[in-house]
Chain A
Amino acid sequence: MGKSATTSDVHALFHSLRSAYAATANHLKIIDLYIVFAIVTAVIQVAYMAIVGSFPFNSFLSGVLSCVGTAVLAVSLRIQVNKDNKEFKDLPPERAFADFVLCNLVLHLVIMNFLG
């Protein structure tokens, strides 16, 4: 009895999550897809390192951190572009995207220097 209540609760939870997420705007979903792609790439790199060892360490570090870094920056972009955020109401999305590009440039410059 309790178990079915919890399972039905869990089902209801997932259903409401899915429906709420489906209601988000398209451009935000694109950014979310990009974030998922970056995280998956990072996980693949870590799995590869676990198999073949971590030498050279600086390459591994720069690869993983570049994936994590682009994910973080994409999350920041999503925060700034999301219309539901009252704090960024006056920020034009073009400015947010320009900041995102600049930060990515710096990040990838550092990555390429550290890649070795």
Chain B
Amino acid sequence: MAAQETSQSATFRHAFGNVLSFTVLLLIGVMAFSIRLFSVIKYESVIHEFDPYFNYRVTQFLTKSGVYDFWNWFDDRTWYPLGRVIGGTVYPGLTLTAGTLWRILNSINIPLSVETVCVFTAPVFSAFASWATYLLTKEIKGAGAGLTAAALLAMVPSYISRSVAGSYDNEAVAIFALIFTFYLYIKTLNTGSLFYATLNAIAYFYMVCSWGGYTFIINLIPMHVLLCIVTGRYSPRLYIAYAPLVVLGTLLAALVPVVGFNAVMTSEHFASFLVFIIIHVVALVYYIKGILTPQMFKVAVTLVVSVGMVLCVAVLAVLIALVASSPTKGWSGRSLSLLDPTYASKYIPIIASVSEHQPPTWPSYFMDINVLAFLVPAGIIACFLPLSDASSFAVLYIVTSVYFSGVMVRLMLVLAPAACIMSGIALSEAFDVLTRSIKFHLVGTTQNPQDNARDATKVNQNDVKSEKSEDTVKERPSRKSKKKDKENIEKPSLVSRVEKRLLVLPLETSVMAVFLLVLLGAFYVVHCVWAAAEAYSAPSIVLTSRSHDGLHVFDDFREAYAWLSHNTEVDDKVSKSKRSDSFALKTPTDVSGISFIASTHYPLILFEVLNLAVLGLVQRNKLIGLLAAAILVQVASWWDYGYQTTAMANRTVIVDNNTWNNTHIATVGTAMSSPEKAAWDIFNSLDVKYVLVVFGGLVGYPSDDINKFLWMVRIGGGVFPHIKEPDYLRDGQYRIDSQATPTMLNSLMYKLSYFRFVETDGRGYDRVRNTEIGKKHFKLTHFEEVFTTHHWMVRIYKLKSPKNRIRGKTKRSKSKSGTSTSSKRSTRKKNPWQ
């Protein structure tokens, strides 16, 4: 009778708990979506930053031309004259996801534009990611921890920074895929079901499609398997969880064109193959141990060890020779810079120059994961009591992600889910203990300690049973109950023992502690909302600043792109300057935003003209060639704004943010660092017609090209040895005032930035460098200024065409152009080009 009552009340409680957690999950999803909408409310529904513009352009192409054309697309609007194979160099997951969403919505008569779908993809997938975190943490610890972790992930600022509405980048869907893959792996590990193993492989495939960070998964899971084997936790479930994943996962990864054969040939994947072999050896050993008697097994061991050791050494020697023969030991540059943080700065300046690849500062940890930073150690301890396969995985995940986040600030994003899981576990355990002691104090004050202990354990067992029955509804009863049985046998005895110690917690302490924990949560929420609203919602294509006389809007970028689109020929090639520091823009200066009512949609390119030009060049038909040459012009720049130019101004660029060709970028860098004549020669060889520079000296915009000039010199100097960095330094610093070196004052970057700058205030005061400029009055000999935006932030110059007749001494001018690093001040020679 009593048992029936308790079972009925247990069912009711279990049903109520289910409904409650479903409602809470729904609310968490809504919160995750809405906290990312600040930029849409404050500005407009526009795509942010630089990389998202490229993804947006690719998605536009996909929705217009279909999957087959997208898969085989060769883009000749970027990296002129090389072009870029989009189908083979882009991770298709994000664009395919957005394209599918758009198609589904359009087919059920919800006519959203492609831009809207792209802008809102990230918030939608962040809601999915928080649900995936709930599932993952539930597998590790239980439903309470799951809900807490999901709520924490929905708001964590580090994840918000890469998934606001408008940040249409790979991480938007990749983090969801990461957490979901981990969830399915842990699920397979817990249940040993091949069905979940298949799903795991498919989720891993989605992750490979989405982001280059999939190598984290394919190295973390083998590490965890090795850890389980070494700590004696090998079980058949481990084999089922790991072995099919490796085979299916490698095949699926090889299907994605970006990865291709790298899936079996690069060192990033070797760990998985090594552990694959190891787990087979271990499985065989366990099998033989099972069917032999102990003394026979000993004989077998001695035999195998003596024979197998020789074989092993031979195979290992061959493998090591193969790997050591490649200079980077088979690792790619980016992965190597993760293992050896100083590698990139020594050998690959391009990777070192990206601001997101710098190590983070200490405050950025507090800014990005806030309260979670000190809840994580508590979570790690909670994972050890008791230690299961799943919780050992969680500990390994947090440790590796902390290391990698210390190497590169961009990888704080991978730390965020791990920190949320750990903090969720810690908070849930803390609340468990506190509420249990409160309940005990309120319920058991009139009973003696013996009954108290029994009541406490009974209460505990009821909780455990309800948790168990809750789970049995969701998965196969037998397997899960068996797992829970194993854990329950040790749990009540452990907990009852711990319970006796916990009973000492007085009522007031527990109530106070609960109140303080809730207050902690409140602080976290306040910080997250502030971070989302102020720090991470700037679209960086529109800037504003507050001054004493109100709000100023700087929409210079779109002004410049609009000018380019309307005033230059269709096939102009643009050369622009380096990508602005996304890190610098995210620091909370007085940069807030106001939407600038401007159309962001421009007509698409006409490819016929370019085809005509190519035809003319190939067939050497003079007439067609002349016609095309009259139209074929290009705009040259550094690589930062390449994506934006092709997307918004629809002009061909020389280099863009993909940075795959270092020599090409170094060519542009050399041109920017050389004197006018040499730069003109380089740009002319690339068929450039317009040069675009970003200049912040008039308004105090710190991420302009003069500040990035050091990277142009370094990258250019890395490939062309006649650019020497010491020529531009005075006392080890780059200066542009009167103390600057002559090479610096003669470089194209200086001249294009400060041409006529002295006319603005009479003395040429640069607000970013806070000095007056060195060379104030000079004329441009090979370039002419065609457009400067309202706040002088973007300046466009045109290459002057050479004169038909050359007067004067040509030999001397030729010899001068060869020595671009000469430190002689350029005297006013009679220039044959004017």
Question: Is A94's CB within 8 Å of the partner chain B?
Answer: no
B interface with A by C-beta (< 8 Å): 192-195, 197-198, 201-202, 235-237, 239-240, 243-244, 247-248, 250-252, 254-255, 261, 264, 283, 288, 290-293, 296, 299-300, 303, 476, 478-479, 482
Decide: A69 and B244 in contact? CB cutoff 8 A.
yes
Decide: A103 and B198 in contact? CB cutoff 8 A.
yes
Separation of A62 and B412 alpha carbons in the complex (Å) = 36
Instruction: Give the distance to chain A from B567, nearest Cβ to Cβ, in Å.
Output: 48
Contacts of B288 in A (CB 8 A): 17
Separation of A68 and B280 alpha carbons in the complex (Å) = 12
Instruction: Give the distance to chain B from A17, nearest Cβ to Cβ, in Å.
Output: 7
Decide: A110 and B255 in contact? CB cutoff 8 A.
yes
Task: Give residues of chain A (90-106) contacting chain B, Cβ–Cβ below 8 Å.
Answer: 90-91, 96, 99-100, 102-103, 106
Known: A69-B248, A76-B194, A80-B194. A13 touches B300 (CB 8 A): yes
Question: Is A114's CB within 8 Å of the partner chain B?
Answer: yes
Known: A20-B291, A61-B264, A114-B251. A72 touches B244 (CB 8 A): yes
Contacts of B248 in A (CB 8 A): 69, 103, 106-107, 110
B interface, over-half SS: helix
Separation of A107 and B195 alpha carbons in the complex (Å) = 13
A-B pairs under 8 A by CB, number:
109
Decide: B251 and A100 in contact? CB cutoff 8 A.
no
Contacts of B476 in A (CB 8 A): 90-91
Decide: B299 and A9 in contact? CB cutoff 8 A.
yes
Separation of A65 and B261 alpha carbons in the complex (Å) = 13
Select A76's contact among B235, B239, B254, B255, beta carbons within 8 Å.
B239
Q: Tell me how many residues of A have a C-beta within 8 Å of chain B.
A: 41
A-B contact pairs, 9 of them (CB 8 A): A13-B300, A17-B292, A61-B261, A72-B244, A79-B236, A88-B236, A88-B479, A96-B194, A110-B255
A interface with B by C-beta (< 8 Å): 9-10, 12-13, 16-17, 20-21, 24, 57-58, 61-62, 65, 68-69, 72-73, 75-77, 79-80, 84-85, 87-91, 96, 99-100, 102-103, 106-107, 110-111, 113-114
Q: A69-B251, A102-B198, A110-B255 are in contact. List 16 more A-B contacts (CB 8 A).
A: A13-B300, A17-B292, A20-B291, A21-B291, A57-B261, A68-B247, A80-B192, A88-B192, A88-B236, A89-B478, A89-B482, A91-B478, A96-B194, A99-B195, A103-B197, A113-B255
Separation of A80 and B191 alpha carbons in the complex (Å) = 11
Known: A90-B478, A103-B244. A12 touches B299 (CB 8 A): yes
Separation of A107 and B261 alpha carbons in the complex (Å) = 18
Instruction: Give the distance to chain A from B388, nearest Cβ to Cβ, in Å.
Output: 14
Decide: A76 and B244 in contact? CB cutoff 8 A.
yes
Known: A20-B291, A69-B244. A13 touches B198 (CB 8 A): no
Decide: A110 and B252 in contact? CB cutoff 8 A.
yes
Contacts of A84 in B (CB 8 A): 290
Select B243's contact among A58, A76, A114, beta carbons within 8 Å.
A76
Separation of A77 and B240 alpha carbons in the complex (Å) = 9
Select A102's contact among B195, B239, B261, B303, beta carbons within 8 Å.
B195
Separation of A73 and B197 alpha carbons in the complex (Å) = 10
Instruction: Give the distance to chain B from A92, nearest Cβ to Cβ, in Å.
Output: 9
Decide: B240 and A79 in contact? CB cutoff 8 A.
yes
Decide: B236 and A87 in contact? CB cutoff 8 A.
yes
Separation of A97 and B809 alpha carbons in the complex (Å) = 88
Contacts of B254 in A (CB 8 A): 58, 61, 114
Decide: B478 and A16 in contact? CB cutoff 8 A.
no
Contacts of A58 in B (CB 8 A): 254, 261
Instruction: Give the distance to chain B from A68, nearest Cβ to Cβ, in Å.
Output: 6
Contacts of A24 in B (CB 8 A): 291
Decide: B479 and A103 in contact? CB cutoff 8 A.
no
Contacts of B291 in A (CB 8 A): 17, 20-21, 24
